Amino acid sequence: MDGVATTGALVPLSPGDLDTLTVDVGPAPANLAVVLELPDVTADQAPAIAAVLGDRIRAVPSLWRAIHRDGHHLFWVEHDAQPDQHLRIVDIQGDALLHAGHLLTQSLDLAEPPWHMTLLVGDRGVSIVFVAHHVLTDGLHGLAMLASLADAPNEQRSQPSSMGPPPSASSRSRPLPRRRHLPRLAPRTSLNRPTGPDRVISTHDIALDALSSAAHEGEATINDLLLVAISEAVAGELRRRGEYPPELRVWVPVATGAGAALTEAGNAVGVMLVPVDLLTSGAERLAAVSAYTKQRKPGARQPQNLRIAHAISQATGRLGIARMINQHQRIGNTSLSTMRGPTTTLRLAGHPIRRIVPAASRAANIGVNFIALSYAGTMTISVVHDPAQLPDPEPLLADLAAALVRRMS
């Protein structure tokens, strides 16, 4: 991270940025991605789309910074890279999401602006794949930056949040139900082995209104409902392998505040660990998750808790044990990030963006992760998995669809 062409002042990395680098221990890099699908765009229109993006990218300062090392200290600095160094057009055959999975796991040079944008041109139109290292931005700021590139940049910024109508007063005051004596550590499963360098992206779409109504009916948030559904889907996959854990523990990022401006993108999230009891009925499970998240989410945002987490993270880095801990941790089984995206269809150079697919690669021993994003009335749930641990995602996707139907019936 030395010897870069830079200008401007040195800005220290935030604690969240430093923690992101600490856990970036491979073999898959700590990257995130967003796929913008434009099925109406033809191959001969792709260069014009790229030219528009190149012009608009210049106006997003957060994309033009890199990391500079001065002794033991790391700083953000402005970088003189040009858009054509980060933007390219690639002709593809087959599923664009398969190619997006390969792009997601490519290592990025932190001495240069750590991102790239690829226009995948295939027989189903153009898919724009934006990949960035997590140190550059978290999910909500990454989406905000991309929204600023569209023809309608004034949409409300996306935020990782518990979605859906607020629960009723009776739900807010409901105490945490008494839980069975379940294991303190996350159960061992075949989906929690050390992960490899590859990731595959699969998706399931569902109408946002139906999801919101089901969550409201259950006096819960959309995020609560999704926590139950993805846990039931993972449990279904494990049952096919002869595994019957009594619970699953799910990592959930929690926004720590209103978020920075587009020019100050970075990492501004805490983490909440949510246990999902698999031995109760569906209604009891949702009620327990809803009560738990209401109680624990404020603590995930507390500055003192964030400072403690940062101190622990940095200690593991200094001791050189971050990779061992990540690849053998017994704290969480899977993860879910839920974000609210633009409510209306965005356009790029006059072409509608029909769908936005989020993705992220995790370095820990978690073989299946979930990222959900609402956009223009549809919730897209991405299942990002290590193909060595989940060679065929279709049964899990079917379980996810069935779990959502159960919640909405």
Summarised one tens digit per residue, pLDDT across range 19-68 is 778 777 778 999 999 999 999 999 999 999 999 999 999 888 889 999 99
Rounded to whole angstroms, how far apart are CA atoms 387 and 395?
14
The CA-to-CA distance between both ends of the chain, in Å, stands at 53
Domain ranges of the chain: 6-147, 159-408
| pLDDT tops 50 at residue 297 | yes
Average pLDDT over residues 216-235: 97
Position 176 scores a pLDDT of: 44
Of 178, 236, 181, 158, nearest in space to 402 by CA = 236
Looking at per-residue pLDDT, the higher value among 87 and 297 belongs to 87
Of 46, 26, 24, nearest in space to 36 by CA = 46
Sequence-distant (≥ 6) Cβ neighbours of residue 183 within 8 angstroms: 246, 247
Average pLDDT over residues 240-251: 96
Encode pLDDT of 314-369 as tens digits: 555 555 555 566 666 778 999 999 999 999 999 999 999 999 999 999 767 999 99
DSSP labels for 314-382? HHHHHHT-HHHHHHH--S-SEEEEEEE--SS--EETTEE--EEEEEE---SS-SEEEEEEEETTEEEEE
Which residue's entry shows tokens 């300062």? 61
Rounded to whole angstroms, how far apart are CA atoms 68 and 90?
31
Average pLDDT value for the chain: 84
Rounded to whole angstroms, how far apart are CA atoms 366 and 334?
6
pTM for this model (two decimals): 0.86
Provide the H-helix boundaries in 173-268: 208-217, 222-240
Q: Would you give the distance in Å from CA 352 to the centre of its chain?
A: 23
Contact 293, 162 (CB under 8 A): yes
Contact 62, 263 (CB under 8 A): yes
Contact 149, 60 (CB under 8 A): yes
Of 368, 376, 268, nearest in space to 17 by CA = 268
Position 300 scores a pLDDT of: 58
Of 280, 400, 287, 381, nearest in space to 336 by CA = 381
Average pLDDT over residues 75-83: 90
- Band (pLDDT 50/70/90 cuts) for residue 162 is very low
Position 326 scores a pLDDT of: 64
Of 308, 355, 297, nearest in space to 160 by CA = 297
Rounded to whole angstroms, how far apart are CA atoms 357 and 367?
19
CATH fold label, 6-147: Chloramphenicol Acetyltransferase (3.30.559)
Average pLDDT over residues 152-169: 43
Position 309 scores a pLDDT of: 55
DSSP labels for 212-223? HHHHHHTTS-HH
Q: Tell me what percent of the residues of the chain surpass a pLDDT of 70.
A: 79
Position 139 scores a pLDDT of: 76
Least confident range of 87-91, 119-123, 183-187, 391-395: 183-187
Of 384, 370, 402, nearest in space to 239 by CA = 402
Superfamily of domain 159-408: Nonribosomal peptide synthetase, condensation domain (3.30.559.30)
The phi and psi torsions of 31 (rounded to 5 degrees) equal -105, 160
